A and B are shown apart, each in its own frame.
Chain A
Amino acid sequence: MQLKQFKQINGALAAASCALVTGQVQAESSLLDDWQVDTAVMYYGETDRVKALEAVVNVNKDFGENHIFNGKLVYDALTGASANGAVAQPDAQTFTRPSGKAEYTIKGGDTPLDDTFRDTRVQINGQWTQPLGQNNTVTGGLHVSSEYDYLSMAINAGFARDFNKKNTNLALSLSYAFDSIEPEGGIPVAFSEMVYRSDYQSETDFWQSFNATRQSSGDDTKDTLDVIFGLTQIINRRWLVQLNLGMSQVEGYLTDPFKVVSVVDEQGYSVRQLYESRPDSRQKENLYIGSKYHFDHSILDLSYRFSSDDWGIDSHTLESRWRYNLSEFDYIAPHVRFYKQSSADFYRPFLNQQESVPMFASADYRIGQMSAYTVGLKYGRKLKNGHQASVRLEYYHQAPENSGYSAPGVLTELDLYPSLSAVILQFGYRF
């Protein structure tokens, strides 16, 4: 019997059949049959600080009978400046860059920002979910995220069970992450003092002193274990509520190697900069309550999250999204979010010269007392080819607050808790 080589025409035929029966053309998507692909490009810009551009590709494929693969690729490019933790001063200040190879100068009155902040990050996630028996679902996934000086790898697994005619769902998920950091210029010795080239006669003397501020090993690691217990309850045809309890335990190097704390004298003048020091473990508990309600033409999402950790940070997040269908083809979704947190026990905007150096101290505003809000609007539209396009614009405002430290001398005249605003613009396309 003569055997011919046949080409695969079934994919093209499937697309043609679908076009014939449904009247919808599956443009170019015959290869991507029942793959759902979401793409998004996001711009994030803080006034005078960090700017980020992010591209996301998210794919979902149902292999039938709820065997679902999800893959996600994220690429971020960040540039700009971030606060280095030092206190503002009436006069210009000079800082040695983390690498030791250069210096940067900050004008009097300005919040010290390190402008070497530049990084790209690539993140890959893969998740597999499938039923196990009639009422159970199991899931497992891998995550890798890589930056210039940072690598994170994580695995996760979850189990969920439906009860009560699928009206109740209980889920338990675990994830373990292993992160390693190898910062430019090495890892500073806790509370060692920043050295300046101008204080030394020779290059050799400077490097000898600089190296003394660095740990012998240039890298460090941390381990994170997360456990989440979730309950989802369908109240009625329109209403669904969700409750999550989470616990997170982190061990390892949790200090920010690029941040310092200023030591100030009685007049408020900065006398030296110490590399910050944080505990090597952090335990966090959180509670999340969410509600989703379907009205005739809209869906209202409301949620509250409380989080508390053994660093002393308690936070509250209240968030709401309202998706309103303008027509069969398009919708708008306003979004508001309020956030409030107390400061970590070891947060210090600065250290006083006359006091002894505490065990831990950080001037990182992100672990200080603050409140923040986000307001935004999203518009989405279903296109004629069945694809979906969306645009989202959000405004974020963050206001660090004084948690009761009295500022000596010249510091009273300066803004020690500068607020920060950012704009987020995102374009999304689903096919």
Chain B
Amino acid sequence: MQTTTAEFKIQFHPDYASIQFSAMASPCDLLVDSQDPELIEKLALASVQETKRIENKFSRYLSNNLCHAINQSCGQPVEIDEECFRLLEFANTCFELSDGLFDLTSGVLRKIWRFDGSDNIATQAQVEQMLPFIGWQKIHYTENHICVPEHMELDFGGIGKEYAVSKVAELALKLAPSNSVLVNFGGDIQVSQAKAKGQPWQVGIENPDFDQQTTKLIAIRQGSLATSGDSRRYLLCDGIRYSHILNPKTGWPVQGAPRAVTVAANQCIQAGCLATLALLNGENAEAFLQAQNIQYWCLR
């Protein structure tokens, strides 16, 4: 059985149902251990709505949303809501915990770094021109307002998708309290709760190694997985591979980082942040992950 609407596609399989839609420039999948068409449809509608809501609010590619208003404010205070405040608080915690490596303001560097697989690397002069516009400590915010200095920008891209995965998983737990729902947005995964009988979900994730366009089958019972890597976004110049992970302190791509890092944690947003921080630590990625006492996989 299959239902397709403009927004999502539902398919019923022998022991689960799947919901598919597209958002945040990613394929978005939900797997549900239920055959109840009413429940599945309710989940599909709510998930699409929640995902699109987050995308529309925080995407930097739109020009009529909160993110745009913040980035075009030229130092004037912009009113924010509770959700935005919570995201800023989270970003602030990450900034502090990572000694400044995790920085929501580093997105302006994309003006000089375009990771299109070419050898088009930025010059030190260009980088130095951008550095004054980077630095989370220059952002001031309260529960109701945020002030972003002129030429500075916030980029929620680094946490937006993982945040959406966590929110949709939480929503799924509320709507289907006695089912297990696996939320998978392009390899960032969170399970709402373990299946009643404890068997794991089997899910294929894209192998981060860009040389082998294969899918890796993994088993997950509960919690979440997030992957950060440079499978497609990189620069290659004089035999040096520049990953798209930029160090906000130097303005240069991080060197010596693994190609991809996958981390398991309770919340997808937590896993995603750890994976990104691991890459930012470059050649020390494994040592960083080791100290976190978590399950992880590094591809070098």
Which A residues are within 8 Å of any B CB, using their own CB? 1-10, 12-14, 16-23, 65
Pair A12/B267 contact, Cβ less than 8 Å = no
The answer to whether B265 touches A20, judged by C-beta atoms less than 8 angstroms apart, is: no
**Which residues 56-105 of B sit at the A interface, judged by CB distance below 8 A?**
82, 86-87, 89-90, 93-94, 97-98
* Cβ–Cβ < 8 Å partners of A12 in chain B: 93, 97
B97 touches A9 (CB 8 A): yes
Cross-chain pairs A/B with CB under 8 angstroms, 18 sampled: A5-B291, A6-B287, A8-B291, A8-B292, A9-B97, A9-B292, A10-B292, A12-B93, A13-B270, A14-B265, A16-B90, A17-B270, A20-B87, A20-B163, A20-B269, A21-B170, A21-B269, A23-B82
Q: Which 3 A/B pairs are nearest by Cβ-Cβ distance?
A: A6-B291, A17-B270, A17-B267
Contact (Cβ within 8 A) B284 A14: no
| CB–CB B86/A20 < 8 A | yes
Complex contact B284–A16 (CB within 8 A) = no
Q: Are B90's CB and A17's CB within 8 A?
A: yes
Q: Closest CB of chain A to B136's CB: distance in Å? A: 15
Please measure, in the bound complex, the distance between the C-alpha atom of A65 and the C-alpha atom of B281, giving whole angstroms.
Answer: 34
Q: Which residue of B lies closest to A20 (CB)?
A: B90
CA distance A4 to B170 in the complex (A): 36
Complex: chain A residue closest to B222, CB-CB: A64
Q: Which of A1, A3, A23, A65 contacts B86 (CB 8 A)?
A: A23
| Chain B residue with the shortest CB-CB distance to A10 | B292
Note all chain B residues with C-beta closer than 8 A to A65: 198
> From B167, which residue of chain A is reached at the shortest CB distance?
A21
CB distance from B275 to the nearest CB of A (A): 12
Q: Is B12 an interface position by the 8 A CB rule?
A: no
Considering only CB atoms, which chain A residue lies closest to B93 in the complex?
A16
* Chain A: minimal CB distance from B279 (Å): 14
How many chain B residues touch A (CB < 8 A): the figure is 32
A14-B266, A17-B269 as given contacts; A2 in contact with B283, CB under 8 Å: yes
User: Closest residue of chain A to B169, judged by CB?
Assistant: A21
Complex-state Cα separation, A13 to B97, whole angstroms:
8
Question: How many whole Å from B176's CB to the nearest CB in chain A?
Answer: 17
CB-CB < 8 A to A21: which residues of B? 163, 166-167, 170, 267, 269
Asked whether A13 lies within 8 Å of B94 as measured between CB atoms, the reply is yes
The residue on B at minimum CB distance from A8 is B291
Cα-based distance from A18 to B97 in the complex (angstroms): 16
8 Å CB contact of A22 from B89, B170, B265, B293: B170
Closest to B86 in A: A20
CB <8 Å contact, A13 and B284: no
* Interchain nearest-CB distance for B242 vs A (Å): 20
B273 within 8 Å of A (CB atoms)? yes
**B interface residues with partner A (beta carbon < 8 Å):** 82, 86-87, 89-90, 93-94, 97-98, 163, 166-167, 170, 198, 265-267, 269-270, 273-274, 277, 281, 283-284, 287-288, 290-294
CA distance A3 to B269 in the complex (A): 27
Known: A9-B97, A23-B82. A3 touches B267 (CB 8 A): no
B270 touches A14 (CB 8 A): yes
Please determine whether B274 and A10 come into contact, CB atoms closer than 8 angstroms: yes
Identify the closest chain B residue to A3 (Cβ): B287
A12 to B277, CA, bound (A): 14
| Interfacial chain B residues near A4, Cβ < 8 Å | 281, 284, 287-288
Tell me the bound Cα distance from A310 to B269 in angstroms.
64
Residues in A with CB closer than 8 Å to B94 are 13, 16
In the bound assembly, the distance between CA atoms of A16 and B292 in angstroms comes to 15
Query: Which residues of B are found within 8 Å of A10, using beta-carbon distances?
Result: 265, 270, 274, 292-294
CA distance A7 to B290 in the complex (A): 10
A81 to B283 CA separation, bound complex (whole angstroms) = 72
Which residue of chain B has its CB nearest to the CB of A18? B267
- Partner among A9, A14, A17 whose Cβ is within 8 Å of the Cβ of B98: A9
CB closest residue in chain B, given A12:
B97
CB distance from A431 to the nearest CB of B (A): 19
Question: Which residues of A have CB within 8 Å of B293?
Answer: 8, 10
For residue A21, give the distance in angstroms from its CB to the closest CB of chain B: 4
List chain A residues, Cβ under 8 A from B170.
Answer: 21-22
With A10-B293, A14-B270 as given contacts, are A2 and B93 in contact (CB-CB < 8 Å)? no
Q: How far is the CA of A18 from the CA of B265 in the complex (A)?
A: 11
Closest to B266 in A: A14
Contacts of B97 in A (CB 8 A): 9, 12-13
- What residues on B are CB-neighbors of A13 within 8 Å? 93-94, 97, 270, 273-274
Which B residue's beta carbon lies closest to that of A13? B270
- State the Cβ distance, B21 to closest chain A Cβ, in Å: 21
Chain A residues near B284: list those with CB within 8 A.
1-4, 6
* Distance, CA A1 to CA B300, complexed state (A): 15
Contacts of A1 in B (CB 8 A): 283-284
- Shortest beta-carbon distance from A368 to chain B in Å: 53
Among residues of A, the one whose C-beta sits closest to the C-beta of B294 is A10
Q: Is the CB of A16 within 8 A of B265?
A: no
Identity of the chain B residue whose Cβ is nearest the Cβ of A6 in the assembled complex? B291
- The answer for the CA separation of A7 and B283 in the assembled complex, in Å, is 16
**Is A16's CB under 8 angstroms from B287's CB?**
no
Within 8 Å CB of B265, what residues of A?
10, 14, 17
Shortest Cβ gap from A10 to chain B (Å): 4
| Least Cβ–Cβ distance between A301 and chain B, in angstroms | 25
User: Chain A residue with minimal CB distance to B265?
Assistant: A14
Pair A19/B89 contact, Cβ less than 8 Å: yes
A24 CB, nearest partner CB in chain B, Å = 10
With A and B bound together, what is the CA distance between A13 and B293 in angstroms?
A: 13
**Closest A residue by C-beta to B98:** A9
List 5 other contacts, CB 8 Å, given A13-B270, A13-B273. Answer: A6-B284, A16-B270, A20-B89, A21-B269, A23-B86
Q: Is the CB of A14 within 8 A of B283?
A: no
**What residues of chain A lie closer than 8 Å to B93, measured between beta carbons?**
12-13, 16
Chain B residues lying within 8 Å of A8, measured Cβ to Cβ, are 291-293
- Closest beta carbon of chain A to B82's beta carbon, Å: 7
Q: Which residues of B contact A2 (CB under 8 A)?
A: 283-284
Chain B residues near A14 (CB-CB < 8 A): 265-267, 270
Q: How far is the CA of A14 from the CA of B224 in the complex (A)?
A: 12
Of all chain B residues, the one with the shortest Cβ separation from A4 is: B284
Task: Name the distance in Å between B196's Cβ and chain A's nearest Cβ.
Answer: 10
Inter-chain CA distance A21–B89, complex, in Å, is 12
Tell me, in angstroms, the Cα distance from A20 to B167 when the chains sit together.
9
B288 lies within 8 A of A6 (CB): yes
In contact, B274 and A7 (Cβ under 8 angstroms)? no
Q: CA A9 – CA B278 in complex, angstroms?
A: 12
CA distance A386 to B131 in the complex (A): 43
Contacts of B287 in A (CB 8 A): 3-4, 6
A8–B277 alpha-carbon span in the complex (Å): 12
